[in-house]
Amino acid sequence: MSNLTSHRSSLVFLAITLLTFLAASSAPTPLYHLYQEGLHFSAGMLTLIFGVYALSLLVALLTVGSLSDHLGRKPVIFTALLLEMLAMLLFIHEDSVAWLIAARTLQGFATGMATAVLGAALLDTDRQHGPLINSVAPLLGMACGAMGCSLLVEFAPFPTTLIYWTLLSLMVLQAVYVWRLPETVSRIPGALASLWPTLHVPLQARRALWIALPVDIAVWAMGGFYLSLAPSLVRAATGSTSNLIGGGLVAVLTLSGALMIFSLRNRPADKTLRLGAVLLAVGVALILSAVHAASLPLFFLATLIAGSGFGAGFLGALRSVVPLALPHERAGLMSAFYVLSYLAFCVPSLLAGNLTRTFGLIATTDAYGVSLIVLALSALAALLLQDYTRTKATSSS
């Protein structure tokens, strides 16, 4: 096999494997209402099942995120695949809420390990296309998982297990093939020391982080709400019983986000962040309108706009902050950035799930949506004020 062919096959394999992990991460979303009906748990418990995934993923990023720099890429990819396969088996044999929590916890850790090592391996393999694949593949994977699972639930037998058997089969093939990849790093000592998390926001990046943080929190909080409660919300607001709707909304959200990241990849960070704040605020306002109008078409249009805001907001926040760090400061800054992002991904949705028991899903959604709009518009105001101050200072000098 030529070096060019080997390079291409490695790149394709790594991209597909990353897609598989993220598809598996969103596959349970269309099944949550079936789990609720079968196991009789509340919306608060549903968001807990979702939240433990995000927290476990965060723990993995902070602890084993750099392990492959010391042990090599292939052993860590293989280990992540084994853990993910075990999580699939837990989903297949679930018979209680405890099993679901265990499956999501293990899946979160495996996904965190996988995204770190596969992201590094993609950069090793292709410095030009690797960053773009790392940015777009997670959202594409979540879209495929949510929509693929919805289609299987609607049209295929074994609605709560077939998607996991399908993913498990694909992962078995990947676990075999991974050993054919060329190893891109040499083993070095310090594996145990690398498990200790490093969080650090450099002084020169703190102001930019504070300005970008409201948008970043808003986009991740919206993503967490959609991946946990969107199917239940659509059913409550419109009365729709189709299994395709919940998965379709998640797919629209993540696909529009991926397309926005791709289309804005060369735009200045400040303009991207402002665009993200505007689109997110408009999209969330339209989602609330769709809830009260009980309009499915408006739901999808609003989700498309909000998803575009998700992609632009996340990309703008990341690119506003990370370049300000020196090379030796970037790992600590990225860790801090992802801690804040994943906390926003799970904590607000956990709170929302518990509030539904007191105020109901519709009222909770209203309060949640208004909070996201306020966050987005606050960030937009801060960005515009920053631009005005900068322009005034330039004209004065």
Say whether 127 sits in a helix, a strand or coil.
coil
pLDDT for 362: 95
Q: Say which range, 31-35, 124-128, 374-378, has the weakest mean pLDDT.
A: 124-128
pLDDT of residue 6: 73
* 1-183+191-196: CATH, from 3.40.50.720, 3.40.50.10540, 3.40.640.10, 1.20.1250.20: 1.20.1250.20
Query: What's the confidence (pLDDT) of residue 240?
Result: 84
Q: Are 342 and 58 in contact (CB under 8 A)?
A: yes
Angle, in degrees to the nearest 10, between helices 32-39 and 97-125:
160
Q: What is the pLDDT of residue 97?
A: 94
Mean of the per-residue pLDDT values for the chain? 89
Predicted local distance difference test score (pLDDT) of residue 392: 73
Instruction: Please tell me if the domain spanning 1-183+191-196 has the same topology as the one spanning 198-397.
Output: yes
Which pLDDT belongs to residue 192? 86
**pLDDT at residue 293 is higher than 90:** yes
pLDDT score, position 383 = 85
Using a pLDDT cut of 70, give the percent of the chain over it: 96
Looking at residue 296, what is its pLDDT? 94
The DSSP letter of residue 324 is G
Task: Quote the pLDDT of residue 101.
Answer: 96
What local confidence, expressed as pLDDT, does residue 184 receive? 81
Rg of the chain over Cα atoms, rounded to whole angstroms, equals 21
Give domain limits for the chain: 1-183+191-196, 198-397
Q: Which residue has the tokens 């991946």?
A: 227
pLDDT higher at 270 or 307: 307
**pLDDT digits over 196-254, tens only?**
877 778 888 888 888 889 999 999 999 999 988 888 899 899 888 888 888 899 999 99
H-type alpha helices, the chain: 3-26, 32-39, 43-63, 68-71, 73-92, 97-125, 130-155, 162-177, 191-194, 203-238, 243-263, 269-293, 296-321, 330-359, 361-396
Handedness of CA 239, 242, 247, 250 (dihedral sign): negative
What tens digit of pLDDT does each residue of 299-327 get?
A: 999 999 999 999 999 888 888 887 887 76
One-letter amino acid at 397 equals: S
Burial class (CB in 10 A: 0-12, 13-18, 19+), 282: middle
pLDDT band at 385 (very low <50, low <70, confident <90, very high): confident
pLDDT digits (tens, 9 = 90+) for 114-171: 988 898 888 888 877 777 787 788 889 999 999 999 999 999 999 999 999 999 999 9
The answer, yes or no, to whether residue 2 has pLDDT greater than 60, is: no
CATH class of the domain whose range is 198-397:
mainly alpha
- Res 301: pLDDT: 97
